[in-house]
Amino acid sequence: MSERLLEVTDLRTTFRTVTGSVPAVGGVSFDLKANETLGIVGESGSGKTVLARTIMGLQPRTNVEVTGSVLLNGHQVVGASERTMRTMWATEVAMVFQDPMTSLNPVMRIGRQIDETLRVRLGMDRRAAHDRALELLTMVGIPSAQSRYRAYPTELSGGMRQRVVIATALACSPKLLIADEPTTGLDVTIQAQILNLLDSLKQQLSMSVILITHDLGVVATRASRIIVMYAGRIVEMGDTRDIFYHHRMPYTRALLESSPKVTNTPHTRLAVIPGRPPNLSTPHPGCPFAPRCAYATERCHVEAPTLVAASAPGHRFACWNPLTETDHPEAR
Amino acid sequence: MSDERRPLLKVRDLTVTFGKGAHAVSAVAGVSFDIYEGETLGLVGESGCGKSTTGKALMKILTPSSGTVELDGVDITHQRGRALRHARTRMQMIFQDPISSLNPRRRVRGIVAEPLDAWKTVTGEQRDRLVDELLNQVGIDPEVYGDRYARQFSGGQCQRISIARALAMRPQFLICDEVVSALDVSVQAQILNLLEDLKAEYGLTLLFIAHDLAVVKNISDRVAVMYLGRIGEIGPSEVLYEAPAHPYTKFLLGAALEADPESATTGAVLEGEPPSPLDPPSGCRFRSRCPYATERCAIEEPVLTEVAPGHQVACHFPFIAQ
Amino acid sequence: MSDLLDQSPEIEPLREQRLGPLFWICVGWLSLNVLGAIFANVLPLVNPLYQNYNAINAGPSLHHLFGTDDLGRDILSRVVFGSRVSLAVGSGAMLIGFGIGMPLGMLAAYRRGRLDTILTAVMYVLLAFPAIIAVIAVISFWTPRTLFKIIVVIGLASVPLVYRVIRSATLAVATKDYVTAAKVQGSTDRRILFRELLPNIAPIAVSFLLIGVATVVTLEGALAFLGLSVNPPTPSWGNMINESRTVMAQNPWLVIFPSLALCLFLLCLNFIGDRLRSYFDVTEVKL
């Protein structure tokens, strides 16, 4: 159970652009156990998508520098050739992207898109692949899979398309599924359906899931652990309950408090984080959140904090002036 | 608090139809509601329910095929030309996509001044002063950013500039169409607070269209829930969120994700997807997904009926606390 | 209100995008061409029609930098004077093409509805007709051929092309929210067309204009080659190439110089047009 499926150590992804180098992921370390759901939360530009693509080995070789180590089920991803990665994609790790329309080929029937993966990767024959594809479509909850098998992606609704994408990703039973904002852009009721589906598939296929999102609501009840990212770094990580109720990093708190809640009374004044996330191409020596942080001191602007352990096991945060436990009125 | 208030906007039987003949789709199919002076009405629903179309029809960006819209007692449905242009200055709209709302080839001051220049209400130095004042109010420093091009700004800043532009003509009524859904959480909170402040300062009446239930609850006095071109339920926000009377509202609220690990996830999930508006179900439009639907729902179309003061539901079998 | 201020210190700087030296070389060459055409009379050039029987089919020399033709006329002088025809046809025809096609295209895309349907149908019918053959037919029968007539015919033939490009460019802009916003603010249609739409389609229009000029200059060359352009002895690049094709072996200068002038001219136009298009492309700058 505690077997480590994924070990990421000091991972850095740096883009070289005309205007200089951009450290999109700046030294990230974490691990993931088998059959665990890990939530990665951050705003746009926090590096969460770049992190996911780096773990997938999807970064282009030119103008991107990746250092550190990503051990996926014992295989090193950093520096692996595309040929090596091909043997891991689909069977070891698969990804579900935000926009289902761009990850499906619009001129190919959806059944064939799944068939193809099965035949190429698992060497199935036409008959077997067809049957398995139908099985997968049924498994992801597509009604009358037999007739939808011959449909084109454009003929399906957004929710149905995302189900097809999930079916494609699961075709070769990967051990790790990375879902990058899988429900952004879907309606509330459909979002609930897809998240439930991912949950039940995870149990059924005993795989691990990394759920990447900007919405704390998505991971609150689905992830066992959460990583909060800001400006390409992990600023806090820990068990879901610790992140929500015992967070120590002011950014985590600000993120939680600035999102409106259904339980708020109308015209509740929202807590606001002033300013915007930093521009990564101009290097900052200190804590990336310092310019927006209410608790920032002199030290925060000059010296970057590293992750230190909090009282709960596995709970770590990067802050010079962490919130104390008593700062949590909602702590239960 | 609701009874003596004067309705600023009266919408009656508003219908917007796209296409003709067999391909006609009623994106909005007979919607009636009032918006009282000084309140914020939230309009929620899933994509394709017609909430944005309703907003655009109120502004007459889309022409309603039937029904009336009355602003301050004046029917604006059939106005054209200059009269329409004039009526529009009393109502304004802010759009979802902050980037495409601003002309990338114009400078910030020019964008905000556009309505003033179009109407020539204020000119010269007075105009410049007003523009800078508006920019200050939305938190954009005119000295620093006033002469930048719109394309140089982030989503949140663009939305601020859009708001400044909308307020230039001092409208009474502001339609916000998904104005925060493209923004990050922290920026979203900034914009929501800004809207609340400006609403108080300008005495605005707001129609806030959004799909995010938490956002709508936070800003609205009353909320209307739309499904497939119809209003299913309308009522004071707290009543509607505490005790939804329409099954759809209940499911919608049940599906809303709360940023709390202890919130219940076991709530019943609404199965299936909204049917195509090309071929809506007979009777109640929600019946094809409603677990409580009976034969009556297929035959008879429910109309909005008052279940409590100010709380109306279009359902044959509403949940009413006895 | 302090928490509402957008205090972000830095703002995305516009990425400095340079046009590059090659662009300016092209601009320089084109200006030289234009100036040469305008001031051809004042320049210290031999009369292009003067026939010097002492120097027939001469190669390049100090007296005749580009050599002379079979009638002893100075090729340099004829190339410079010949550019007048090419430039006049190119700019004149595009003036007509854009003068008619651009307002129609913008209006159709902005107004949509019946106006758009009818105009687009008409334009597509015209487009379906092979323009070059139409031009040849009209010019062959509309005698005597003058420069003016050629400009008018080519200009009219280019209207549907301009219309189509401008219409689709405008369509892309007209559906943007800022156009709706302007409408909602009570801006008049004229303000919207000039303030919101025009600046955004201008880059596309300019680059298409340059490429259009290049195409028309080539077309004039082709017509001249068929003997359907301005009547000799008036020189044009096209008819110089046409006349010299029989003596190509004996006097290669006669065909090389006008061809070179034509090629460089077109190359510069195309390069500038392409460069401007990517320079002004807002989305390319942004991302």
Mutate to test the interface with C, among B92, B93, B97, B114 (most CBs of C within 10 A): B114
Q: How confident is the model at residue A108 (pLDDT cuts 50, 70, 90)?
A: confident
How far C199 CA lies from chain B's nearest CA (Å)?
7
Of A182-196, B35-49, B115-129, C184-198, the range with the highest mean pLDDT is B35-49
Q: Are B93 and C181 in contact (CB < 8 Å)?
A: yes
* Position A228 confidence tier, pLDDT thresholds 50, 70, 90: very high
Substitution target from A22, A279, A281 for chain C, most C beta carbons within 10 A: A279
Rg (CA), chain C: 24
| B neighbours by CB contacts (3+ pairs under 8 Å) | A, C
CA B180, CA B184: separation in Å to the nearest integer?
Answer: 8
Instruction: Provide, as residue numbers in chain A, all residues whose Cβ is less than 8 Å from the Cβ of C10.
Output: 279, 282
CATH class of C25-39+65-286: mainly alpha
pLDDT tens for A268-298 read 888 888 877 787 877 778 899 998 888 999 9
Q: Identify which of A157, A261, A269 has the shortest CB distance to residue B258.
A: A261
Q: Residue A117 — pLDDT band, cuts 50, 70, 90? A: confident
Residues of A in contact with C12 (CB under 8 A): 279
d(CA B293, CA B270): 13
B170 part of contact set with chain C, CB < 8 Å: no
Percent of chain C with pLDDT over 70: 92
A192 and B270: CB-CB below 8 Å?
yes
Largest CA distance in chain B: 68
DSSP state letters, B103-130? -TTSBHHHHHHHHHHHHTSS-HHHHHHH
Report how far residue C229's alpha carbon sits from residue B24's, in angstroms, rounded to the nearest whole number.
Answer: 55
- For residue B321, the model assigns a pLDDT of 62
C177 near A CB under 8 A? no
What would the pLDDT profile of C129-140 be if each residue is shown by its tens digit?
887 788 888 888
pLDDT at residue number B60: 87
| pLDDT at B164 exceeding the cut of 90 | yes
Quote the CA–CA distance of C258 and B50 in Å, as a whole number.
65
Contacts of C8 in chain A (CB under 8 A): 275-276
pLDDT of residue A332: 40
Q: Is B100 on the interface with C (CB under 8 A)?
A: yes
**Chain A contact present for C14, CB below 8 A:** no
User: Residues of A numbered 117-176 whose beta carbons fall under 8 angstroms of chain B's beta carbons: which are they?
Assistant: 157-160
Per-residue confidence (pLDDT) for residue B223, from 0 to 100: 95
Q: Other C-beta atoms within 10 Å of C250: how many?
A: 10
- Mean pLDDT check: name the lowest of A2-11, A133-142, A154-163, C222-231: C222-231
Give the pLDDT of residue B35. 94
pLDDT classification of B9: cutoffs 50, 70, 90? very high
Angle (CA) B99-B101-B107 rounded to 5° is 80
Q: Which residues of C touch B95 (CB under 8 A)?
A: 177, 180-181
Helix ranges restricted to H, chain A: 48-55, 82-88, 100-103, 110-122, 126-139, 145-148, 158-170, 188-205, 216-220, 240-245, 250-258, 298-302
CATH superfamily, region A4-223: P-loop containing nucleotide triphosphate hydrolases (3.40.50.300)
The rounded distance, in Å, linking the Cα atoms of A38 and A46 is 17
| DSSP secondary structure string for all residues of A261-303 | -TTSPTTPPPP---S-PPPTTS--SS-TTGGG-TT--HHHHHS
Specify the pLDDT at position C215. Answer: 87
Residues of C with CB under 8 A from a CB of B: 1, 3-6, 8, 11-14, 176-178, 180-188, 191, 195-196, 199-200, 282, 285-286
Domain layout of chain A by residue ranges: 4-223, 229-321
Domains, chain B, in order of start with CATH, read: 7-102+153-258+266-313 (3.40.50.300), 103-152 (no CATH)
